[in-house]
Chain A
Amino acid sequence: MKRENIIDIVDKNYRNNGGIISILEDIQKQYSYLPAEALKIVAEKTNRSLVDIYGVATFYRAFSLKPRGKHLISVCLGTACHVRGGPVVAEEFEKQLNIKAGSTTPDREFTLETVNCLGACALGPITVVDGRYFSNVNRVKVSKIIEKARYGLDKVEIGTDQRIFPVEVSCPRCNHSLMDKSFDIDGHPSIRVTISFGDTHGWLRLSSLYGSYSIEQEYKIPLDTVLNIFCPHCHADLTGASLCPECAAPMVTMIVQGGGVVQICSRRGCKEHMLDLM
């Protein structure tokens, strides 16, 4: 944990004596839990007592003071899920992961917790893994869910998944193709753009598969950086046509060959994108 990093997070979110929850959320996002040292730095930087910060951190279930695993499994034990067999599901997870609810596996892969209601009672028993909802979970499905989570829920099977297809894009200004035939990502020609952030300028290659988030970069881009993205041919700024509905960073617009527009968010780590085909 870096002290400067925490200070950055505080500076970003602390406004008018408010924003404690946003600060804690950002810290939790980065470290998967709230380290004690971080809370002390937050207290110091916001001129509040540690008691206040600690009170907030312990009040909300979403915050954890203990390190969490890579994957978070939340089993719903709300009334509806409870009567449909939620406790059996929770028990099965406990058995298969060999941990009690509320704890983390020794290899830091999984954290298992029970929650009181996820608001999707009609689909119960519900289990949420890394933000993905699994409905009508029963004892048999548990091992499959654990396998999927271990593999990575964001990974998609290229070639078999219908939602993944290659697009060819060009610059909206000079209409030059942005495709780089000499550099393949995911087995397809990549999209090459130039980027800048801070004092750094370099190239960025994106997968041309719609739905794949694979990238190759010249310089490592820190998470949450908003990039300036340019056409490598005419150097036109590609950002700015609209703002990301998710994080309010400018969206990057590119023309899809064959008619249409694709927009991607310019913030590193934000996966927001839109495709309009004509």
Chain B
Amino acid sequence: MISLKINGLNVSVEEGTTLLEAARFLGFPVPTLCHTDGLTPYGACRLCVVEIRQGSKSRLVTSCTYPAEEGLIVRTASERVVKARKIIIELLLASCPQSKTIQDLASAHNVRRQRFRQEYEDCILCGLCVRYCEEQMMAKAIGFRGRGENRSIGTPFDVPSDVCRLCGGCMYVCPACQLRCTYTEPEKAVCGGCANLSPPCIEKEKFDDMMCYMDPCVACEIKKD
């Protein structure tokens, strides 16, 4: 067992536990986007940053990938952490403003403005769908392509993949298109913006027979009109 201190509370956890798991075990909320139980940690969204003490200095680390260390002092909501998180949320808002998940995060963290150049992407490159496809479905139908600002997620050569079983899991875990997924629960999707969007991932012909967990399906409803 490893004992460490999170926000002033002593806690003992098993070796290999990440700071995120330890903090959540104690009930401290740590927001995440690219983390889901059952998938390997990836550290892409950086929302789960916490402050750890190293000697006389402190450092921001992603709690989802940082393993618990003996005697570590962790703060999950220090001024520095909150400030960093707010900037990250602003950046996410700048790229994917239509995501309900990100809007909710912004609201919860009292982010009221976005000072970067506004873009309208439908992907934050968190890699959840890639990991879901690989680790849960054992399919590896989608992956990262390209580099830098041309990085994108999709199938090789943008053609329907032979190994894709159309499970729809990639859309299910996606934080950027969750807005569309909560369309049928109005209390969760108050803005109603999704009704005006045709989901880019469903719209394409190749996903016509995608198993759909949305009832009724937004894309199908739009097509009917």
Q: Is the interface of B mostly helix, strand, loop or mixed?
A: loop
B146 touching A51, Cβ below 8 Å:
no
User: Given A39-B156, A54-B156, is A49 in contact with B140 using a C-beta cutoff of 8 Å?
Assistant: yes
Q: Is the interface of A mostly helix, strand, loop or mixed?
A: helix
CB-defined interface of A47-83 with B at 8 Å, one 1/0 digit per residue? 0011111110011100000000000000000000000
A51 touching B147, Cβ below 8 Å:
no
B157 touching A36, Cβ below 8 Å:
yes
Query: Which partner residue on chain A sits nearest B140 by CB separation?
Result: A49
Complex Cα distance, B159 from A39, in Å, reads 14
CB-defined interface of B35-74 with A at 8 Å, one 1/0 digit per residue? 0000000000000000000000000000000000000000
Distance from B209 Cβ to chain A, minimum over Cβ atoms (Å)? 21
Q: Indicate if B145 sits at the interface (CB-CB under 8 A).
A: yes
Complex Cα distance, B140 from A58, in Å, reads 17
Interface centre among B142, B144, B155 (most CB of A within 10 A): B144
User: Given A58-B147, A59-B147, is A51 in contact with B142 using a C-beta cutoff of 8 Å?
Assistant: yes
Q: Indicate if B163 sits at the interface (CB-CB under 8 A).
A: yes
User: Given A51-B140, A51-B141, A52-B140, is A58 in contact with B155 using a C-beta cutoff of 8 Å?
Assistant: no
Selected contact of B156 from candidates A51, A59, A60, CB within 8 Å: A51
A51 touching B155, Cβ below 8 Å:
yes
Q: How large is the interface on B (under 10, 10 to 19, 20 to 34, 35 or more residues)?
A: 10 to 19
Query: Which partner residue on chain A sits nearest B162 by CB separation?
Result: A50
B145 touching A58, Cβ below 8 Å:
yes
User: Given A36-B157, A54-B156, A54-B157, is A49 in contact with B143 using a C-beta cutoff of 8 Å?
Assistant: yes
Distance from B76 Cβ to chain A, minimum over Cβ atoms (Å)? 34
Distance from B152 Cβ to chain A, minimum over Cβ atoms (Å)? 9
A55 touching B143, Cβ below 8 Å:
yes
Selected contact of A49 from candidates B146, B147, B157, B163, CB within 8 Å: B163
B143 touching A54, Cβ below 8 Å:
yes
Distance from B163 Cβ to chain A, minimum over Cβ atoms (Å)? 7
Distance from A171 Cβ to chain B, minimum over Cβ atoms (Å)? 53
Complex Cα distance, B155 from A51, in Å, reads 7
Distance from B151 Cβ to chain A, minimum over Cβ atoms (Å)? 9
Residues of A within 8 A of B156 (CB): 39, 50-51, 53-54
Query: Which partner residue on chain B sits nearest A36 by CB separation?
Result: B157
Selected contact of B145 from candidates A39, A49, A55, CB within 8 Å: A55
Residues of A within 8 A of B142 (CB): 51
Residues of B within 8 A of A39 (CB): 156
Selected contact of B143 from candidates A36, A51, A60, CB within 8 Å: A51
Distance from B165 Cβ to chain A, minimum over Cβ atoms (Å)? 14
Query: Which partner residue on chain A sits nearest B130 by CB separation?
Result: A51
Selected contact of B146 from candidates A36, A50, A53, A58, CB within 8 Å: A58
Complex Cα distance, B145 from A53, in Å, reads 10
Residues of B within 8 A of A58 (CB): 145-147
Distance from B118 Cβ to chain A, minimum over Cβ atoms (Å)? 27
CB-defined interface of B110-150 with A at 8 Å, one 1/0 digit per residue? 00000000000000000000000000000011111111000
Query: Which partner residue on chain A sits nearest B159 by CB separation?
Result: A36
Residues of B within 8 A of A55 (CB): 143-145
Give the top 3 A-B pairs by smallest Cβ distance, nearest first: A51-B143, A49-B140, A54-B156
Residues of A within 8 A of B (CB): 36, 39, 49-55, 58-60
User: With A51-B141, A51-B142 given, can you name 6 additional A-B contacts, CB distance below 8 Å?
Assistant: A39-B156, A51-B140, A54-B156, A58-B145, A58-B147, A59-B147
Q: List 7 A-B contacts (CB under 8 A).
A: A52-B143, A54-B145, A54-B157, A55-B143, A58-B147, A59-B147, A60-B147
